[in-house]
Amino acid sequence: MAINQYSNLVISKVNNYLNVREEPKADGKIIGKMTSKAGGEILETLDGWYKIKSGPIIGYITADPQYTATGQEAKDLAMETASLRAVINTDVLNVRTEPSTEAKVWTQIVKDERYPVLAQLDGWVEIELDSIDEEDGTTADKAYISTRDNNVEVRYALNEAIKFSPSEIAANNAASRRSKLVNYALQFVGNPYVWGGTSLTNGADCSGFVLKVMQNFGVTLPHYSGAQAKMGKAVKSSDMRPGDLIFYANSGGTVNHVALYIGNGQIVHAASRKSGIKISTWNYRTPVAIRNVLGD
């Protein structure tokens, strides 16, 4: 059970995300974010704050019961929201198109991500990898990972905090437009994925999400990730900046997913029907292109 992993559970009750701070004060540096219904372990209770450990983050969150749940309320929320996840224990893991070591490796995934489990087989797990065909909304590829080398732990789990610091995007005045764009996009974390959608609040797919965020900053994009991947100019991963677009492909090499880089090795994207709009590691699967469409 997911709740057995915690001795003093706290759950975020926010609609999008709850800031985790380095110090127990309202203007403390943000070091992480807990998405809606994410869990953590309370290490210490202070005046109006909890010191917590959630995922890789140790920091402070508000103890306001409007935003955080503890005790029986937290346990009840955990029982409602925990889902079967594949927790990756190795730095890089191959994803195959079939549950066989002879099958094609079409992408790789990384540690510190938790992938929804669709099916369990002998020595293999089928995971959800947001590879949705934008033309008809069907799942374009099946994604299988091997569990035989103990590189994957399959268990019921809660979302946990992810590392996030806005310092990189606010470092200088030249980045102010990109900083504003990222902060604008982040306010929609937790909202639903809807195939074909372009609503940042009621639901968008991956390219619809990017389209609407960019539109708010005067950039016009087509509503298709493959077409968006041809816009702007190519960028190397070593040179990418917050606001650049990162693209991913299906097993045939066709671009079928897009995300917005937010700095510090992370992206925000409309990931899938189960995950909605979320923050992930930029190489949570192997990128195939990075584009600067902002023109600066």
Summarize pLDDT for 238-291 with one digit per residue, the tens: 999 999 999 999 888 889 999 999 988 889 999 888 788 988 889 888 999 999
One domain, residues 65 and 179: no
3-state secondary structure the chain: CHHHHCCCEEEECCCCEEEEECCCCCCCCEEEEEECCCEEEEEEEECCEEEEEECCEEEEEECCCCCEEEHHHHHHHHHHHCEEEEEECCCEEEEECCCCCCCCEEEEEECCCEEEEEEEECCEEEECCCCECCCCCCECCCEEEECCCCCEEEEEECCCCEECCCCHHHCCHHHHHHHHHHHHHHCCCCCCECCCCEECCCEECHHHHHHHHHHCCCCCCCCCHHHHCCCCEECCHHHCCCCCEEEEECCCCCEEEEEEEEECCEEEEEEECCCEEEEEECCCECEEEEEECCCC
**For residue 160, is it within any domain?**
no
Domain boundary among 124, 155, 186: 155
Domain boundary among 62, 81, 100: 81
**For residue 9, is it within any domain?**
yes
Residue 202 sits in which domain range? 167-292
56 contact partners, CB below 8 Å, separation of at least 6: 112, 161, 162, 163
CATH number at residue 236: 3.90.1720.10
CATH number at residue 67: 2.30.30.40
Domain boundary among 18, 51, 81: 81
One domain, residues 75 and 91: no
| Domain count within the chain | 3
Kindly report the pTM of this predicted structure: 0.78
**For residue 161, is it within any domain?**
no
pLDDT per residue as tens digits for the range 49-86: 999 999 889 999 999 999 999 999 999 999 998 888 89
**For residue 162, is it within any domain?**
no
Share of the chain above pLDDT 90, in %: 55
One domain, residues 146 and 243: no
